[in-house]
Amino acid sequence: MSEQPPLGVRALDALFRATPAMSVARMSEERLRRVQGATIPARGPANLLLGRPRSGVRISTRTFPASHGELPLRLYVPQRPALGPRPVVLHLHGGGFVLGSARQGDWLCSAVADDLDAVVVAVDYRLAPTHRFPAALDDCYEALLWTVEHAHVLGADPERLGLMGDSAGGNLAAVLALRAREESGPAVLHQALLYPATDLTEALREHASYVGNRGIVLSNDDLEIFYGHYLPEGTDPTDWRLSPVHAPDLAGLPPAVVVVAGLDPLHDSGVRYAEALVASGTPARVEDFHLMPHGFLSFPYLARSARPALEAVVADQRRHLGGDAPLSGRR
């Protein structure tokens, strides 16, 4: 008999099952449009679910002129005096390329900014199905270029540049690292991939974690709908810009920490990407949280492993990006 998930994860599962708006597979087109247009309140019950941001981090918003128009960014900067230019981390949120916003990452991004003593820039990229591949990827790459160009204005060091992304954002972060290498773009020193979607091909359905998925937080039906919304008809899903695990060459990429969750249908996707990186000579380490569901770092008060996972991510970022703040384990 398999071990039962912790009480907080079971509560999270019950909440998702009772709330149709938390499953794309149970959304009508009209509801999806409403959810995409909704704004998460800065205070109130949302913070009880998603976690309160660190009090010592200033959060601000701005836009920059991307090729399609103004693209929103969310900036996280420690309020304490800086000893010098800080590392800078570009964060890409999850949501299956269809849902989510930079705001949902306030707890994670502010904690990384605080514990690493870094500037974190989060991107509100365009969402499918209105904007299908490669819209999100292009937005994120332009945001990467903007971040490097404006790093000094932000008090950051463009030569200590990291990527971070969860779920669909983990896919985008992995692909950005590849694209930066292929296009001789910014020199990325580290990638933090949190339960990333690295294989959008039919092979995903053969992964043991997909076959045995319990449907906590993320169901297989959700995955199919997310990918269907993101991929234009006729697109080859083996394109490395969609499925980075199928890139012909993974050598010369930045070191990676890959966080995976044992109750996640994407568990094996993350592990296989880490293995492929190592096989190509790119350093990668896997942090496996066996009794956690997909997205658990987004629910720090219900998922007991969120803080240990955060500490593992920051420790790896520190190894490759530097940073002056001690690991504090603060709430």
Mean of pLDDT values over 203-214: 97
Under a CB-based contact definition with an 8 Å cutoff, are residues 68 and 126 in contact?
A: yes
- Catalytic: which of 101, 167, 298, 305? 167
Question: Is the pLDDT confidence value at 214 over 70?
Answer: yes
- Catalytic: which of 199, 264, 268, 316? 264
Element (H, E) at 177: helix 168-182
Paired residues of 74 in beta bridges: 61, 122
Q: What is the mean pLDDT of the chain?
A: 95
| 294 has catalytic annotation | yes
- Cα-Cα-Cα-Cα dihedral sign, residues 131, 133, 134, 139: positive
In this prediction, residue 241 has a pLDDT band, given cuts at 50, 70 and 90, of: very high
Mean of pLDDT values over 169-179: 98
| 264 has catalytic annotation | yes
pLDDT tens for each residue of 77-132: 999 999 999 999 999 999 999 999 999 999 999 999 999 999 999 999 999 999 99
Question: Is the pLDDT confidence value at 328 over 50?
Answer: no
Whole-prediction pTM: 0.95
Question: Is the pLDDT confidence value at 46 over 60?
Answer: yes
Residue 1 is predicted with a pLDDT of 47
In this prediction, residue 329 has a pLDDT band, given cuts at 50, 70 and 90, of: very low
In this prediction, residue 15 has a pLDDT band, given cuts at 50, 70 and 90, of: very high
- Catalytic: which of 91, 229, 294, 320? 294
Q: Report the percent of the chain where pLDDT is more than 90.
A: 89
Residue 324 is predicted with a pLDDT of 57
Mean of pLDDT values over 160-183: 98
Starting at the edge strand found earlier in the chain, the sheet holding 156-166 runs: 57-66, 69-78, 119-123, 86-92, 156-166, 190-194, 256-261, 284-289
- CA 124: distance to chain centroid? 12
- d(Cα 5, Cα 57) in Å, to the nearest integer? 32
Residue 48 is predicted with a pLDDT of 87
Residue whose token pair is 């045995």: 212
Q: Is 252 left (phi over 0), alpha (psi -120 to 50) or beta?
A: left
